[in-house]
Every structure is written in C-alpha cells, then in structure tokens.
Amino acid sequence: MNARMIPKCNSLHLGILPLTVLALVFFGVWNLRRVPAGMFGHVLTVALSPCSRKDVLVLTPWLAPIIWEGTFNIDILNEQFRLRNTTIGLTVFAIKKYVVFLKLFLETAEQHFMVGHKVTYYVFTDRPADVPLVPLGTGRKLVVLTVRNYTRWQDVSMHRMEMISHFSERRFLHEVDYLVCADVDMKFSDHVGVEILSALFGTLHPGFYSSSREAFTYERRPQSQAYIPRDEGDFYYAGGFFGGSVLEVHHLTKACHEAMVQDKANGIEAVWHDESHLNKYLLYHKPTKVLSPEYVWDQKMGWPSIMKKLRYVAVPKNHQAIRNR
C-alpha cells in the first residue's frame, strides 16, 4: 500500500491498540453495564487515530468505536475486506403494502451500499410476485424468501427476529459473512460501507443520540423480558439498522424472539416491541461497533451540524394509511 495513503498519527500507536482492546475485553471491561448517569451528554475526545472527531463521542466506555464521518479511512478498510473476500447479506422485510418501498430501497442500495463488495439481498415478503426487477451490479444478487403476514404491524415487526434467526441458522451461515438488518421504508442517500462491519453493531437512534439515560424509552415494566432498570443503560439503539457476523446476529435475534414469546405467554408486550428487546440485548451483550445517527435518520428532524452525511434516511410516508391497507 502506498505510504502516502496512510495519514500520520500523533497519538496512540495503532499497532498497540488491538492488543490493548483485547486485554481489556478479556479482563472484564466487556461486561461493563453500569455507567454514571448523564456521562453521554458530555463530549469524549479520544485521539485513537488521525481520523477522529472532537465534536462528538467517538468511543464507548467498553472501547467500541462510534462510527461518524471523519473517523475512518474507507480506502484502507475496503482493501482489508476485499482481501478477506467478504460477502455481506442485507435483510429487509417487505410485508403487505410495504412492498411499495422495495424498489427505491434496492435502487439506492445499489448506488450506496457496500459498493465494490459482494452483496446478497434477502427480501422477506408475502408478495413475491410484487418484488421489482432492479438491475444489480457484479457480485450482487437478490434472494426472495416467502413468509406469512400478520394482521397487526406490531406482529410483523416482532416476527422479524424469528425469521432472521431461523434463516441465519439454516441458510445465512453458509452463504454470507455478515448480516445487515434494515427497514424497507428507508433509502440509502450516501455511502454505507464496510466501516460498519463488526462482530455486532447497533445504531444510535436519531431521537435519543444526544439525550441522557433518563429520557430513553426503554421498557420499564419488570414483568417484561425487555425490562431495563432506570439506573442502567448505555445508549438507545434504533431497531431499523443493526447487524454483525451471522453467528452473532443469530444469537441476538434468537434471544429477542424467545424473550418476546415469553412476554406473550405472560400477557405483556414491550413498549416498542422488537426495538425494546434489541435494546435489552445490546445492554448485556455490548456491540463491538456503534453507528452514529448518520446511519438512521429522519430529515423531518433537520440536519444538525454534527451530521456531516445523512447515509440512510426515512422515506416520507403515511404509516397509518399503509398499515391499514
């Protein structure tokens, strides 16, 4: 690699960093759960590399990087993942009338998602005949997985965990290296690449990325398997964009599904359904990367100055009208 492509580093030596992280992980930092309330309201500046930011939080207390524009070198990362011959699976659910969002989702994914890498789109739908024909680039393919629908949109949302878990075990483990699980009523509007890939990643919810723990809408009822006490919590993660290695995603989705089954047997439903269970899981199984709200954004919230790019954004729509069709 051309030395001119690698910027100078005036801080922590990058050769030492992986060993430091591993040592801390195995000596217990990985299991950190209790963090002083309000600490995430402050800016933490960590000079781990020249690709850093001083205006946002760039590292979690358990030493997982938080991915913002300006914190990574995509050329170096692309080369690393190409050398590994990495294949990425992208799961999306297009149930009932939500299939109308699929064409824009796929077209924009072809423009911005993992460009230059092998990708398999896994489309879960109850309407396979309505899946649009979108031209795909070299090394990219689309697989349609026919599933049943449910009367309530909440049930559709919660059964995503069951379906992803089921197919991870029986198929995805043998076909791809990483899984990215995304909502269909969104579009890719800028680069989303291998910088997100890690054993397990979650994405900061755009409505809570700058909020204190007290404002998080965790499930607070102890009767639910998604319950999180008020003195615990790291971040509030969005249910619409998460992933990791296939094995780790299988563990996550299976655990969330089993928790929802138990809740149903006890006559309770978590306040934000599968998102509540995702937050509970990521509290006790720390993600190895955290994505900034660049990776899940709603432009109705404007464009804050800290957001250098809006990468994956909500498509304007009338949710209720679509759900009632």
Q: What is the pLDDT of residues 292-310, one digit of tens each?
A: 999 999 999 999 999 999 9
The reply, when asked if residue 274 is annotated as ligand binding, is no
Residue with tokens 């230059």: 116
The reply, when asked if residue 105 is annotated as ligand binding, is no
How crowded is the C-beta side of 33, counted as CA atoms within 13 Å? 13
pLDDT at 52: 79
Query: Is residue 47, in this structure, part of any structural domain at all?
Result: no
For all residues of the chain together, what is the average pLDDT?
A: 85
The reply, when asked if residue 314 is annotated as ligand binding, is no
pLDDT at 148: 79
Own/partner pairs, 231-234, CB within 8 angstroms, 24+ separation: 231/34, 231/37, 232/33, 232/34, 232/283, 233/35, 233/279, 233/283, 234/33, 234/35, 234/40, 234/60, 234/61, 234/282, 234/283, 234/286
Query: Is residue 235, in this structure, part of any structural domain at all?
Result: yes
Of residues 88, 286, 122, the one with CA closest to residue 196: 88
Strand partners, 312: 188
First to last CA, the chain: 55
275 is catalytic: yes
Query: Is residue 213, in this structure, part of any structural domain at all?
Result: yes
The reply, when asked if residue 259 is annotated as ligand binding, is no
Structural domain count, the chain: 1
Q: How far apart are CA 316 and CA 303, in angstroms?
A: 16
Query: Is residue 264, in this structure, part of any structural domain at all?
Result: yes
Query: Is residue 287, in this structure, part of any structural domain at all?
Result: yes
Query: Is residue 86, in this structure, part of any structural domain at all?
Result: yes
- Considering the chain, what percentage of its residues have pLDDT values greater than 70? 79
pLDDT band at residue 46, thresholds of 50, 70 and 90? very low
Residue with tokens 């993992």: 114
Query: Is residue 23, in this structure, part of any structural domain at all?
Result: no
CATH number at residue 117: 3.90.550.10
Range of the domain at 256: 75-323
Q: Stretch 60-78: mean pLDDT, rounded?
A: 98
> Phi, psi at residue 4, to the nearest 5°?
-70, -20
1 versus 218: which is more confidently predicted?
A: 218
pLDDT band at residue 278, thresholds of 50, 70 and 90? very high
125 versus 323: which is more confidently predicted?
A: 125
Q: Which two tokens stand for residue 182?
A: 């995304």
**DSSP-assigned states of every residue in 40-94:** GGS-----SSSS--SSS--B-TTS-BEE-TTS--HHHHHHHHHHTT-EEEEEEEE
pLDDT at 91: 98
The reply, when asked if residue 126 is annotated as ligand binding, is no
pLDDT at 159: 82
Q: Give the number of other CB atoms < 10 A from CB of residue 186.
A: 22
Query: Is residue 250, in this structure, part of any structural domain at all?
Result: yes
Q: Stretch 173-190: mean pLDDT, rounded?
A: 98
Which of 69, 110, 162, 275 is catalytic? The answer is 275
